[in-house]
Amino acid sequence: MAEERLPSRADNFSEWYNQLVLRAELADYAPVRGCMVVRPYGWALWENMQAALDRRFKATGVMNAAFPLLIPMSFLEREKQHVEGFAPELAIVTIGGGEKLEEPLVVRPTSETIIGHMWSKWIKSYRDLPVLLNQWNSVVRWEMRTKLFLRTMEFYWQEGHTAHAAPEEAEVRARQMLDAYADFAENEAAVPVVRGQKSESERFAGALRSYSIEAMMGDTRALQAGTSHNLGDNFAKAFDIRYLDHENQQQFCWTTSWGLSTRFIGAVIMVHGDDQGLILPPRLAPYQVVIVPIYKSDAERVEVLQAVDRLVPELPGVRVHVDRREGLTPGFKFNDWEMRGVPLRIELGPKDIARQQVMLARRDVPGRDGKQPAPVAGLATRVQQALDEIHTSLYRRAESFRREHTHSPADYEELKQVVQNGWADAWWCEQAACEAQIKDDTRATTRCIPLDQPGGTGACIRCGEPASRRAIFARSY
């Protein structure tokens, strides 16, 4: 049962990624081109992400709801920028029950329009505000060039939507949810992110301002890992979402929307993985610990499995999986779980039982260096410590990789070079013409204008005009 090795990450990052997703049984290609099937191991990872995010949303007063998959086509046409942005990607239902529909229905690409429509009925007075809701669902966008998790026709996500009485409240909420995403990325997924504002050309269709968290992948390309939009009163005006204020005057609401999708699974794979396979961040891993029993004879097998059964209850609150598969060598199992990214392995054999210990092996530290005996007494504490150490070490590794590959080019020629294998952090005049020229010359786009700015002013890296903010330029997924 010898497994073929994965393609080398350094030599062929793209193929390494594709094969890893399939081989780790995270997802598979669906019969419809561009769609994916998320397999149980991948879905378990997504469920842990959902739980971590859902907790954060609810802590800010958000409640979950469910809106329909099908949206009248006319709804999308009501917000001009919105329909222009989404028209090329729409899937449209024209026949239902064997009959041509009077009005075509859109399979939701996102739900601002239908939620706006319902809010216009539900929101009457300032007392009804704010409205804070979220839904977990899937959406469809007709993508031509797809890649598992990163870009698929149908993907899973959450879309949060809020409505407020004042413009400042919408801005505060958009930023608050961006912070929630950054906190999730860093403290659950060990993925360092830059929080920033999108340029006008990269803004969400219909938004006043868009924000994103951007992460550097293992090939130095950027990935937009979550977005949050201040929609101003654009959707309120398009859908007539109004309320009576304290003075009994009709006012338009101010709305936001924010989303994070299964794309984030792609980020986790590409930030942490290595030539052996996945390395899953301990707080999100479906299995935090895998126990591999080691035995040579049937008698040993019985003894070891009994010891394993005594061990599992010693690890409450830890997601433990016991690999009881027969007819496979321990070495095969080690490789298999390494490929599937389980953060911590416990090996238990007759010698360990005699010494009242187990062997712990860290996924993030290959070979002997990552292996240490640990006494069975106090194992739970030791395992928890190890999982926290792995989280911290994954985060630090990703952060130092990003630091090494983020440059502050002195001039335009240098920018052209550094974005071939990294990010450029440079002054930008914020004019679309410069952004477009840089993209033509280098294929790098503005990823974001970081919220964290050094202050002062500079000269635009391309045109030399005065610039008040720096931007991140990078090639991206």
Point out which residues bind Zn ion (CB under 5 A).
Answer: 429, 434, 460, 462-463
Nearer to Zn ion, 105 or 460 (CB): 460
Tokens representing 29 are: 């290609």
Q: At its nearest, how many Å lie between Zn ion and the CB of residue 469?
A: 12
Q: At its nearest, how many Å lie between Zn ion and the CB of residue 445?
A: 14
Q: Which of 105, 104, 91 is nearest to 141 (CA)?
A: 91
Nearer to Zn ion, 358 or 419 (CB): 419
Q: At its nearest, how many Å lie between Zn ion and the CB of residue 196?
A: 18
Q: At its nearest, how many Å lie between Zn ion and the CB of residue 410?
A: 16
Nearer to Zn ion, 360 or 434 (CB): 434
Count other C-beta atoms under 10 Å from residue 182's C-beta. 20
Nearer to Zn ion, 372 or 468 (CB): 468
Q: In this structure, are residues 383 and 343 in contact, taking their beta carbons and an 8 Å threshold?
A: no
Nearer to Zn ion, 12 or 201 (CB): 201
Nearer to Zn ion, 161 or 447 (CB): 447
Q: At its nearest, how many Å lie between Zn ion and the CB of residue 408?
A: 16
- Reported as half-sphere exposure (CB side, CA atoms, 13 A), residue 340 has a value of 27
Q: At its nearest, how many Å lie between Zn ion and the CB of residue 203?
A: 18
Nearer to Zn ion, 189 or 426 (CB): 426
Nearer to Zn ion, 10 or 433 (CB): 433
- Rounded Cα gap, residues 24 and 468, in angstroms: 46
Q: In this structure, are residues 229 and 81 in contact, taking their beta carbons and an 8 Å threshold?
A: no
Q: At its nearest, how many Å lie between Zn ion and the CB of residue 430?
A: 8
Q: At its nearest, how many Å lie between Zn ion and the CB of residue 429?
A: 3
